[in-house]
Amino acid sequence: MTSEVSPVPDRTTQDDHVRPAPGVPSAPVGPPRRRRKRSSALDDVDERLVWELVRDARTSISRLAARTGLAPSTVHARVRALVGAGVLRSFHAHVDLEALGLPLQAMINVRLREDARADGRGFGVRVVRRAPVLHVYQLGGPDDYLVHVACASPGHLRDLVEDLTADPAVSSASASIVYEHLVAAEHMDHLDGLEQMRTSIA
């Protein structure tokens, strides 16, 4: 379960706070880009900003500026541009689901009927709107979807699986209990940035 938050504003200047708004420029502003061969049009500064926000979405504009060597106003403009371009899609809080009364997480493997696979994405959009659902993954392989859920009790999970199985598009659904959920962003102190994620497996 996630909730949207913005990078923590620097209290010294209101302009430092990131507020996505209509009309956000489609490309970052600031020092000239140094193009590299990668899957996106981001330069090194953009990637550093994204990396820092992936690590901690609460990082303030002033702290981002200190880590990149740019002026706060330039960092603010670049982050807004990254939001406008869809690179930064949202800012999330990682919460303790058990503290919220949802102690049971599970992965539900779903296999669609042959005649329903042509509209497979439609199934995913329907399922992701259900209250207990955290994430929905469309798969390649014997199963068509993996649905990550957080439930209040085993009975809650059973009811959800039975409800999914009753969907006309579903051939079968089975759940596996999650014992532990580790978030990679909280264990990246040994990495320097996104380039290592693209090139390393260690």
Count of structural domains within the chain:
2
Same domain, 118 and 163: yes
Bridge partners (DSSP) of residue 2 are none
**Rounded to an integer, what distance in angstroms lies between the CA atom of residue 63 and that of residue 40?**
25
The reported pTM is 0.69
Q: In 3D, which of 94, 12, 99 has the Cα closest to residue 56?
A: 94
What is the widest separation between alpha-carbon atoms in the chain?
Answer: 59
1: in domain: no
Task: Collect all residues with Cβ–Cβ distance below 8 Å to 141 and sequence separation of at least 6.
Answer: none
Give the count of beta carbons closer than 10 Å to the beta carbon of residue 42: 20
Same domain, 107 and 169: yes
197: in domain: no
Cβ-contact 41, 133 below 8 angstroms: no
Tens digit of each residue's pLDDT (9 = 90 or more) over 146-201: 999 999 999 999 999 999 999 999 999 999 999 998 888 788 877 777 887 788 77
104: in domain: yes
Tens digit of each residue's pLDDT (9 = 90 or more) over 107-156: 999 999 998 888 767 899 999 999 999 999 999 999 999 999 999 999 99
Which residues constitute the domain of residue 77?
14-92
Task: Collect all residues with Cβ–Cβ distance below 8 Å to 148 and sequence separation of at least 6.
Answer: 105, 106, 107, 108, 133, 134, 135, 136, 137, 178
Task: Collect all residues with Cβ–Cβ distance below 8 Å to 199 and sequence separation of at least 6.
Answer: none
**Residue found by looking up tokens 């955290």 in the block:** 134
Q: Residue 176 carries which side chain, given as an amino acid letter?
A: S
Same domain, 107 and 70: no
Same domain, 70 and 103: no
Same domain, 38 and 54: yes
The pLDDT assigned to 19 comes to: 38
Task: Collect all residues with Cβ–Cβ distance below 8 Å to 103 and sequence separation of at least 6.
Answer: 97, 152
